[in-house]
Structure 1
Amino acid sequence: MSGNPLIFSAKFAPQIRAERVQNNKKIRALAVVLPQFHPFPENDEWWGKGFTEWTNTVKARPRYKGHYQPQLPADLGFYDMRLLQTLCDQANLAKEYGLYGFCYYHYWFNGKMLMERPLQEILKSDRPDFPFMLAWANENWSRRWDGKDKEVLIEQKYSLEDHRQHATYLCQKVFSDPRYIKIGGKPFFLFYNTHIIPDLPEAVKIWREVARENGFDDLYLGGIITSSEFEVNAQEVGLDLVIDWQPDWSHLKIIPGLIQRIKNKLGWGQTYRKIDYAEVVQRMKSKPSFTQKHFKALVPGWDNSARRKNDAFIMHDATPELYEDWLDHTCKTTTIYSEEENFLFINAWNEWAEGNHLEPDKKWGRAFLETTKKILSKYA
């Protein structure tokens, strides 16, 4: 080798660091948490006194032979997320099985919040000692719980001023919490339906500006891609990266035709769409990886027949072994961008009425959690 060795070292240092990170891969898994497991006034008004996610969960019944319903909780029982003890029990269980933290869904409608009670309980206490972050579920609040998507209960409206108000609230009340997940000192925050936010580049600038006004160097902003057809270019709109979310409905290619959709909605004939979870795993493993900077995601199952009388979607026969195969593949193919940019999302921790949960149930017990720990321990 000729030339100045110091110049050579400086030139290839970034490449060497990147290779070192990949060869000693460490992954931090975040489980997505739905805070719908407690009564609040709007739910009482819309669904009846005392309604929570458990109300739908326990009403589920099998639609066909071999259909696993109802899916009922085991170790944690029918908990109430207004209780700090519940939040601590969830965090302790997640920590025991190798999860790094929780990503809570956050609901904001022009200054009005829904289901904020669990987060408020966490912020008021130093417990649980468990990292957390937020994903803004920026969509209309509709009767999606029973399949009536078009009946809007609270409309999600957008304005640049509302973005400023929203960012200010979070910077001052939430992001400063020492347990809040940060990357390079920057609070990590997600937009769920990134593609529907008007004036997104300008909105992102406002979020970053507000963060700096409130003492942060910046924010680390991600855009969730809920379907391959809604992909957003993070660099073009000013985001740090995107999340390759699951389920990726368009890539599953099971969207029915118009006539079948009408029949599903009206309950004529078969009232559900079904795909084997094994096929989902194979399709997602063969799916082309995003070319832009991204974090990956996967689901331990899916069955929203507890919510939807008609047009339910079911991933049939989700087993810990198949989930292990998917999780192992996801970890192996995850790109680690830096020592702090190494997250993976498991959707979800507790979507009980969507048949999508890591929390122990009556059939599998802690098997999905044990599998999670088995795979993640390779990357701890």
Structure 2
Amino acid sequence: MHDYGIDFAVYDWYWAKENKPMLEHALAAYFQAKNSHLVRFSLLWANHSSTPESLDQFKRMVAYWIKYYFPKKQYYRIDGKPVVFIFSQEQLRERAKAFGMTSAALFKIANEMAKGAGLPGIFFVGSTEATEYWVKDYGPKNGYDAFSAYNYHRGFSGKYLPNKRFSHSFGELDAAYRESWDWILKESPLPYLLPATSGWSKKPWGGSKDPLHDNSVSTPETFREHLLAAKVRLNQYPEKTKRTVVICCWNEFGEGSYIEPTKTWGMRYLEAIKSAFPDN
């Protein structure tokens, strides 16, 4: 990763009802790697589940972060704060509501816990589509420090259009990202860590509801063009983007989104990153 310009990796991370992490094997392997110091790491809290079910469960999870992850030198930080990506703003809002809390209240508690451990706080990044409610209203009012996204399937420019179809090619998917980037960069009051994609195809997992959406696959060449378009936005908005692109994904083979070397493409996706960002 490091040799191809990748600075940090964001690991999907799950918290079980039994108050312990799930599917932590990738992080465990990372910690054992002798050269892990070359690529920093962060967590994407995959909160699209039934947790947290209570305030106590949330606090136990945050305490785990503070004890086992945040002290590590290679943890990715912004403004000195360890960064935690939130998969779903909506899911967290609904889970918090179920036990009489709000996202803002939970983040306040988490930040107080972090400060009690000698940290300056936690930098929470919420996933969002390019819609007015999440970007201009809910997120800024509920304790988020920045926005990004796991992935997009269609683009918006402020108004949520439920009947807008998903992309049917990588060209359409790329256009959807560009539409979303441009609206959020113009309208968001918070920083926006630019999400990028290597494509989409759910065929390995049985296919998307719209089969044509699974044609949204890239080549190393079209992926590079996508990254160059992202780079233009970084140069236009260096402060708002923190000059950061978050690529989905390293090895999400079940959804056709990967840059990990394969028999088909070899190292060409990684080479595309290095070519697009030669100074990184």
Asked whether the equivalents of residues 207 and 214 of structure 2 are also in contact (C-alpha less than 8 Å), the reply is: no
Asked whether the equivalents of residues 104 and 132 of structure 1 are also in contact (C-alpha less than 8 Å), the reply is: yes
Counterpart mapping for 1:1-380 below 5 A:
94-110=1-17, 111-123=19-31, 127-129=35-37, 130-140=39-49, 155-197=50-92, 198=96, 199-225=102-128, 228=131, 231-232=134-135, 233-249=138-154, 251=156, 275-287=168-180, 288-290=182-184, 291-292=187-188, 293=190, 294-308=192-206, 311=209, 312=211, 313-334=213-234, 335-337=237-239, 341-378=242-279, 380=280
- Matches of 1:281 and 1:170 in 2, distance apart? 34
Runs of at least 5 residues in structure 2 that lack an aligned partner in the other structure: 97-101
Determine which structure has greater relative contact order: mean sequence separation of CA pairs < 8 Å that are 6+ residues apart, divided by chain length.
Answer: 1
Name the structure with the higher helix share: 2
Render the CA deviation track for 1:113-145: whole Å, top value 9, x for unaligned.
2111232344466542221111100012xxxxx
Q: Which amino acid aligns with 1:113?
A: P
- Matches of 1:359 and 1:230 in 2, distance apart? 35
Render the CA deviation track for 1:65-103: whole Å, top value 9, x for unaligned.
xxxxxxxxxxxxxxxxxxxxxxxxxxxxx1111111111
Which structure: larger Rg? 1
Render the CA deviation track for 1:193-246: whole Å, top value 9, x for unaligned.
112212101011011011011111111111111574872443211111111442
Render the CA deviation track for 1:30-76: whole Å, top value 9, x for unaligned.
xxxxxxxxxxxxxxxxxxxxxxxxxxxxxxxxxxxxxxxxxxxxxxx
Q: Against the structure 1 CA distance between its residues 329 and 345, is the aligned structure 2 distance closer, same or farther, given a 3 Å change threshold?
A: same
- Matches of 2:34 and 2:72 in 1, distance apart? 10
Asked whether the equivalents of residues 181 and 188 of structure 1 are also in contact (C-alpha less than 8 Å), the reply is: yes
- Matches of 1:299 and 1:315 in 2, distance apart? 14
For this pair of structures, how many residues does the alignment match?
257
Asked whether the equivalents of residues 190 and 221 of structure 1 are also in contact (C-alpha less than 8 Å), the reply is: yes
Render the CA deviation track for 1:170-190: whole Å, top value 9, x for unaligned.
001111011111122211111
Q: Against the structure 1 CA distance between its residues 286 and 182, is the aligned structure 2 distance closer, same or farther, given a 3 Å change threshold?
A: closer
- Matches of 1:317 and 1:357 in 2, distance apart? 10
Runs of at least 5 residues in structure 1 that lack an aligned partner in the other structure: 1-93, 141-154, 258-272
Normalised by the length of structure 1, the TM-score is 0.61
Normalised by the length of structure 2, the TM-score is 0.81
- Matches of 1:344 and 1:234 in 2, distance apart? 20
Render the CA deviation track for 1:278-302: whole Å, top value 9, x for unaligned.
1222333244421222111111111
- Matches of 2:257 and 2:124 in 1, distance apart? 26
CA shift, 1:375, in A, is 0.8
- Matches of 1:176 and 1:245 in 2, distance apart? 25
- Matches of 2:130 and 2:183 in 1, distance apart? 13
